[in-house]
Amino acid sequence: MAPRIETVHGDITAEQVDAVVNAANSRLAGGGGVDGAIHRAAGAAELHAACAALGGCPPGEAKATPGFALPARWIIHTVGPVWAGGTRGEPEVLASCYRRSLAVADELGARSVAFPAVSTGVYGYPPDRAAEIAFHTTSTAETDVELVRMVAFDRATHELYLRLGALPG
């Protein structure tokens, strides 16, 4: 069954869900944007140690750690594609990020998951194209997750999700 999809304009680190998705780098080493914010809010030392034990993560895949100091019980780390014009498999890799994150959520028993706009920051994915992939992939997923919340850092991304059919959260 496909999950209910909501969107909010806000801070993913404050979401009251079972799992938050981190737009990570392949070393799972923390960084800027969403990744840095999640590391700081969760407890950088604890999260860094947990991520180091995972041994990295290739683009399109997902791995989980505890949520530590976040309200969410788990953090699902996924590595999105770096935008190179859309001709190097970026749409497929981005869709895989959402599918694999939901599969990991299912393995954990998570029923609510908050996603950032994966790859739209320093990885340069066009927000409108990324939002379409995120919405389509999650809205057609076969998953036990009941609620997907798309957390937009900016109003423009929030509006994209609403236009695609996400419900206001």
| CATH code, domain with 43 | 3.40.220.10
- Cα separation, 87 vs 69, in Å, equals 39
Instruction: Give the phi and the psi of residue 31 in degrees, each rounded to 5.
Output: 180, -140
Structure confidence at residue 2 (pLDDT): 87
Tens-digit pLDDT profile for the chain (169 aa)?
789 999 999 999 999 999 999 999 999 999 899 999 999 999 999 999 999 999 999 999 999 999 999 999 999 999 999 999 999 999 999 999 999 999 999 999 999 999 999 999 999 999 999 999 999 999 999 999 999 999 999 999 999 999 999 999 9
Question: Strand, coil or helix: what is 50?
Answer: helix
**Could you tell me where the DSSP H helices lie in the chain?**
33-42, 44-54, 90-108, 127-139, 155-164
- Take residue 72 and report the two structure tokens written for it: 């969410």
- The range of the structural domain enclosing residue 93 comes to 4-168
Structure confidence at residue 1 (pLDDT): 77
- Cα separation, 80 vs 25, in Å, equals 8
- Cα separation, 87 vs 162, in Å, equals 27
Whether residue 154 lies in the annotated active site: no
Domain count, the chain: 1
Closest listed residue to residue 82, CA positions, set 116, 118, 119, 127:
119
pTM above 0.85, yes or no: yes
Q: Which of 18, 35, 106, 154 is an active site residue?
A: 35
